[in-house]
Amino acid sequence: MTSPRSYVIIGGVAGGMSAATRLRRLDESARITVVERGEHVSFANCGLPYHVGGVIDDRDALILQTPESLAARFALDVRVRTEALSVDRDARTVAVRDLRTGEETSLTYDALILSPGASPVRIPIPGVERGLVLRDLADMDAIIAAARDARRAVVAGGGFIGLELAENLVHAGLDVTVVEMLPQLMRPLDPEMAQLVTDHLRAHGVTVLLGAALRAITESGVELDNTAELGDGAEQLPADLVVLSVGVRPESTLAAEAGLDLDPRGYIVVDEHQRTSDARIYAVGDAVVKQRADGPASPVWLAGLANRHGRLAADAIAGRPHAAVPALGTAVIGLFGLTAATVGRTERELREEGCELRVIHTHPSDHAGYYPGASALALKLVVDARTDAILGAQAIGGGADKRIDIIATAMAGGIPARGLADLELAYAPQYASAKDPVNMLGYIDDNLLDGEDSVQWHELDARLAEGWRLVDVRTEQEHADGAIPGAELMPLDALREHAASLRDEHVIVHCKVGQRGHTAASLLRQYGVTVANLDGGYTTWRSGTASRSLAPQPA
Amino acid sequence: MTSPRSYVIIGGVAGGMSAATRLRRLDESARITVVERGEHVSFANCGLPYHVGGVIDDRDALILQTPESLAARFALDVRVRTEALSVDRDARTVAVRDLRTGEETSLTYDALILSPGASPVRIPIPGVERGLVLRDLADMDAIIAAARDARRAVVAGGGFIGLELAENLVHAGLDVTVVEMLPQLMRPLDPEMAQLVTDHLRAHGVTVLLGAALRAITESGVELDNTAELGDGAEQLPADLVVLSVGVRPESTLAAEAGLDLDPRGYIVVDEHQRTSDARIYAVGDAVVKQRADGPASPVWLAGLANRHGRLAADAIAGRPHAAVPALGTAVIGLFGLTAATVGRTERELREEGCELRVIHTHPSDHAGYYPGASALALKLVVDARTDAILGAQAIGGGADKRIDIIATAMAGGIPARGLADLELAYAPQYASAKDPVNMLGYIDDNLLDGEDSVQWHELDARLAEGWRLVDVRTEQEHADGAIPGAELMPLDALREHAASLRDEHVIVHCKVGQRGHTAASLLRQYGVTVANLDGGYTTWRSGTASRSLAPQPA
């Protein structure tokens, strides 16, 4: 019998703990040691913002496992408040220090798994030490304590964690301002989609300042640059609480000092079995750069991938390797009841890379309109124009998480955009429509493949400048309620009367969301009109142009 | 220029109307006539039960289009209350009769689309004429009128429409009994899954009689055969309202008389372009037999397929054929807030066909347990043991529709069961778990592929008879709250103490849902125990054995 093997895992949350418990199930005899710098392992980091707002009432609910429970069930040696100091790759040892006693010891390993995570960035501005961040339970406790006596909060950073915190600080009774340096919130969304999130936050009382940068944190609040929206001279924003949520940096110092390969941004490079440049050292989670589907490798800070890769690292160590699949970056956020979800890559990124795209927006109800409670869903699909491959999707509104999960699965299965029309999705009127919103994307793609010309909201001005006419095929009432400047009204149900008069013209038709526009375009084409349909209709155009007040226009 | 083409569509709901409007978009010059025997076209047939219960308040909301609106927008000649009498295939004419005037005319076609649907079966029992059925708005009105003065209702048939009606008759204030001839409700579910629906209906006051057949409908109610559950002699069930929802029959008489190919059950046979045995006649919808993925062709009465096939028929007629993909039969029902969804084939059917299967049950929360509002989800996966192909899935509870849609998409994309572990699904604690329930299915399949032995609830007795020991690894409290007869308690966190004593034994471990059982099995195997895990744990075993009180045991 061989002597028991020794495994050391650095970082006891998400990927690290998935690896540790999986290793135990595969190898009952191994010595498995988990080293965690913080107070807790296996805590619910994705739940932290919700305890700030009282949505999750019980703090203990966030602590999923303890060193004791993990020892009992999985015979793990879990050492919290213990920091890994250095790795000796030749000796295969890790030097660690107990942060409570200062005692240093050395752990031998047959395989080492790094799951150090990423830490919130502290930007180099005066007073930055006054800002709070949110990574662990101690951070959360500090925010809750600060919020208790606070009236006004500034959250710097309009990404996932920043916005979840903004909502929860509102729930905690504070006036909240989100300050985002970019001209939009939520970079994984394109601007016309992000605009819906901005509108929703503002409707729930959050002040959103886009294109605004923190210059300093003072005793009384923050000082800002580029605050056009605040009006003349208003560069001071009073705040009793400032949270910095402006990005993360990988905790890869240990890996760097051990001489492991890092990417230019400092993320640990691994192969498809999570192996670093040292065959006995694996790495998982937020400190690792991921292979991406349809794009260059990049960090993806998602719990699902961390867990998955933790298991795969354990499998590889135990001699049953399965390769990781490239990451899609599927993500979702809920904000004041609005769901925003995304998968894959954005139109903005892909156009910057010069990709030839088909882009589809649709605005269906999340379920049959005749059944009570239907809510609006904005759905966007980004397609490779040459191959019909789905490159990305974004959804905002009712059932957005479901639709993005379906599309993520279609992408994983290599289903082309047109194939979305053939998906058989569960239908009853309270759940979907007989043609599900995802099916509709496939139908629209099919129309485009069939030669229908569509125009994106950000392409409209250029077409009009070329002399195309713009025809609104909605009803008189809809037109009166709000119209695109220059649009001529020709309601769809009377369009046949106008068709002959448009022969040989170049016409862009639009309706509210694109569906009547498609019917109008099909009709006019057969009367000899050169016709294009405004993708997503008035609805997409309106949010797109609203986003443009600050956003640079996509190329 | 060629003369305009003539298209006739028989049946103006779902598939028929999808075909008609699609044909118009493809061919502005064609003469398109839609013949509908009933009063309405394009009504929301899936919504009818919900108006009975007042969930959908406005009857007009169920009428999605009118002949007038379809004439205005699509220049369709829609003739309601008009019956197709016969087809002359040589002359390419359809004889039709206006049911209001009795006038008969003949319509010429270049292509004919049959979308006649299927009608509720009236079983040959005395008094059957007293029973109501639900197919169209007139039927719905009759049920509502009858319910107004009724106190007690019997719904014969425990399929989708019968159960939706049962719920809505409860909402309308009636005492409702569902009488189902089979030993379970909802044949697209396996018995242990259907049991959860039965339990839920009973908890909401519906009386459910399984394995009971209607013998007669009398003035005062119904007479039943095989009513073991009612007790001695209680073969009479008083009722003021009896609804028959015991299946449908295809409306294929016209097709048969025209000499088109039908299958043995009378459903119209079509190719992948919806073409019948006459190249100028197409058929779509509930009267058509569908090619099935992973099984013999069969009828599938689903609105999504009807709409999809309507469009494909129009595409083929217009010279741009796309082949239909084989049907999965994805479906969902909501009953008193419980969601039950299914895709593909059942364990029962496949075992009857002799397939070698891997079957997986899991009982996760629909979202992270630490976030409020998590509800239970029962999830089942049926896998081809030789190829790892997913053959079917069933889900009951929170988020069931989403999980079945994901699995249906995975099936369409050819993703094997193990690949479910790699799906990147959108996670935030209010929407899912970092390992989504669908991922868990993939993880469990991976364990089984890796050699873990699992036992189904209906296989347990046979294993115990072979001398296997049964070990409950739950806590003392859980064991005390309900246990499988003969199970020995050895809580997981103390299992290492017992492991040596079990060496060389044959042991089935079980926990509540299967997850701790997996950890226990992994542990014991390494101590030299021959071990199997009870799939789905105590939870699946309990609903399975409850379903067995009437159900024959799966082979």
> Where is B148: in which H helix or E strand?
helix B137-148
Per-residue model confidence (pLDDT) at position B553: 40
Per-residue model confidence (pLDDT) at position A3: 86
Instruction: Give A 340-359 residues with CB within 8 A of chain B.
Output: 341-343
Output the DSSP codes for A31-47.
Answer: EEEEE-SSS-SSB-GGG
Judge whether B429 is closer than 8 Å to chain A, CB to CB: yes
Per-residue model confidence (pLDDT) at position B294: 84
The chain A residue lying nearest B436, using CA atoms, is A304
- Cβ-Cβ contacts under 8 Å for B2 (sequence gap 6 or more): none
Judge whether B149 is closer than 8 Å to chain A, CB to CB: no
Instruction: Give A 476-495 residues with CB within 8 A of chain B.
Output: 492-493
Per-residue model confidence (pLDDT) at position B552: 42
User: Could you tell me the two tokens for B279?
Assistant: 């190249």
Distance, C-alpha A372 to centroid of its chain: 30
Per-residue model confidence (pLDDT) at position A225: 84
Nearest to A25 among B332, B334, B522 (CB): B522
CB contacts, 8 Å: A394 with chain B? none
**Alpha-carbon span A455 to A361, nearest angstrom:** 11
Tell me if B425 and A330 make a contact (CB, 8 A cut-off). Answer: yes
Tell me if B406 and A405 make a contact (CB, 8 A cut-off). Answer: yes
Closest-CA residue to B72 (of A57, A269, A523): A523
**Alpha-carbon span B287 to B248, nearest angstrom:** 10
Judge whether B409 is closer than 8 Å to chain A, CB to CB: yes
The length of chain B in residues reads 555
pLDDT, tens digit (0-9, with 9 covering 90-100), for B528-542: 999 999 999 999 999
Per-residue model confidence (pLDDT) at position A548: 85
- Cβ-Cβ contacts under 8 Å for A106 (sequence gap 6 or more): A93, A94, A95, A96
Nearest to B50 among A333, A369, A429 (CB): A429
How many other CB atoms sit within 10 Å of the CB of residue B249?
17
Output the DSSP codes for A386-419.
Answer: TT--EEEEEEEETTHHHHHHHHHHHHHTT--GGG
ipTM over 0.90: yes
**Placement of tokens 């309990």 in the chain:** B542
pLDDT, tens digit (0-9, with 9 covering 90-100), for B251-287: 999 999 999 999 999 999 999 999 999 999 999 999 9
**Alpha-carbon span A76 to A111, nearest angstrom:** 15
- Cβ-Cβ contacts under 8 Å for A168 (sequence gap 6 or more): A49, A50, A52, A53, A54, A55
User: Could you tell me the two tokens for B80?
Assistant: 């309601």
Judge whether A424 is closer than 8 Å to chain B, CB to CB: yes
For testing contact with chain A, the best of B371, B405, B447 (most A CBs within 10 A): B405
Give the orientation angle of helix B303-317 with respect to helix A437-449, to 10 degrees.
10
User: Could you tell me the two tokens for A509?
Assistant: 């038709």
Output the DSSP codes for B91-135.
Answer: TTEEEEEETTT--EEEEE-SEEEE---EEE---S-TTGGG-B--S
The length of chain A in residues reads 555
Closest-CA residue to A307 (of A78, A64, A37): A64
The torsion of the CA quartet A310, A314, A319, A325, rounded to 10 degrees, works out to -10
Amino acid letter for position B291: Q
Residue A345 phi, psi dihedral angles, 5° rounding: -110, 160
Shortest Cα distance from B233 to chain A (angstroms)?
Answer: 39
Tell me if A64 and B370 make a contact (CB, 8 A cut-off). Answer: yes
Judge whether B425 is closer than 8 Å to chain A, CB to CB: yes
User: Could you tell me the two tokens for B241?
Assistant: 């309202």
**Alpha-carbon span B239 to B169, nearest angstrom:** 13
CB contacts, 8 Å: A21 with chain B? 519
Judge whether A17 is closer than 8 Å to chain B, CB to CB: no
For testing contact with chain A, the best of B424, B438, B474, B525 (most A CBs within 10 A): B424
Give the orientation angle of helix A15-26 with respect to helix B515-526, to 10 degrees.
50
Output the DSSP codes for A221-240.
Answer: EEEEES-GGG-TT--EEE-S
pLDDT, tens digit (0-9, with 9 covering 90-100), for A424-441: 999 999 999 999 999 999
CA distances from B68 to A53, A420, B114 (A): 53, 32, 22
Shortest Cα distance from A397 to chain B (angstroms)?
Answer: 13
**Residue A544 near residue A192, CB atoms below 8 Å:** yes
Tell me if A372 and B305 make a contact (CB, 8 A cut-off). Answer: no
Output the DSSP codes for B150-171.
Answer: -SEEEEE--SHHHHHHHHHHHH
- Report how many Cβ contacts below 8 Å link chain A to chain B: 253
Nearest to B304 among A304, A425, A518 (CB): A425
Which one-letter DSSP state was computed for residue B101? T
The chain A residue lying nearest B406, using CA atoms, is A406
Tell me if A56 and B370 make a contact (CB, 8 A cut-off). Answer: yes
Nearest to A332 among B14, B306, B426 (CB): B426
CB contacts, 8 Å: A368 with chain B? 44, 46-47
Distance, C-alpha B54 to centroid of its chain: 24
CB contacts, 8 Å: B302 with chain A? 424, 427
Give the HSE-up count for residue B337: Cα atoms under 13 Å, Cβ half-sphere.
5
CA distances from B237 to B243, B411, B549 (A): 14, 44, 22
Which residues of chain B fall below pLDDT 50? 551-555
**Residue B497 near residue A75, CB atoms below 8 Å:** no
CA distances from A7 to A21, A110, A214, B478 (A): 11, 6, 44, 34
Judge whether B318 is closer than 8 Å to chain A, CB to CB: no
**Alpha-carbon span A115 to B442, nearest angstrom:** 23
Give the orientation angle of helix A537-547 with respect to helix A515-525, to 10 degrees.
120
Task: Name the E strands within B122-232.
Answer: 152-156, 175-180, 207-210, 213-217, 221-225
How many other CB atoms sit within 10 Å of the CB of residue B378?
24
Judge whether A73 is closer than 8 Å to chain B, CB to CB: yes
Tell me if B427 and A302 make a contact (CB, 8 A cut-off). Answer: yes
Shortest Cα distance from B29 to chain A (angstroms)?
Answer: 8
Output the DSSP codes for B11-39.
Answer: --STHHHHHHHHHHHH-TT-EEEEE-SSS
User: Could you tell me the two tokens for A548?
Assistant: 């443009």
Q: Is B353 exposed, middle or buried (0-12, 13-18, 19+ CB in 10 A)?
A: exposed
Three-class DSSP category at B545: helix
**Residue B15 near residue B307, CB atoms below 8 Å:** yes
Per-residue model confidence (pLDDT) at position B231: 52
Per-residue model confidence (pLDDT) at position A280: 98
Per-residue model confidence (pLDDT) at position B509: 98
Shortest Cα distance from A505 to chain B (angstroms)?
Answer: 18
Which residues of chain A fall below pLDDT 70? 1, 226-234, 550-555
Number of helices (H), then strands (E), belonging to chain B: the values are 16, 29
Categorise residue A49: left if φ over 0, alpha if ψ from -120 to 50, beta otherwise: alpha
Per-residue model confidence (pLDDT) at position B332: 98
**Residue A22 near residue A284, CB atoms below 8 Å:** no
For testing contact with chain B, the best of A291, A315, A424, A525 (most B CBs within 10 A): A424
**Alpha-carbon span A291 to A273, nearest angstrom:** 12
Widest CA span of chain A, in angstroms?
90
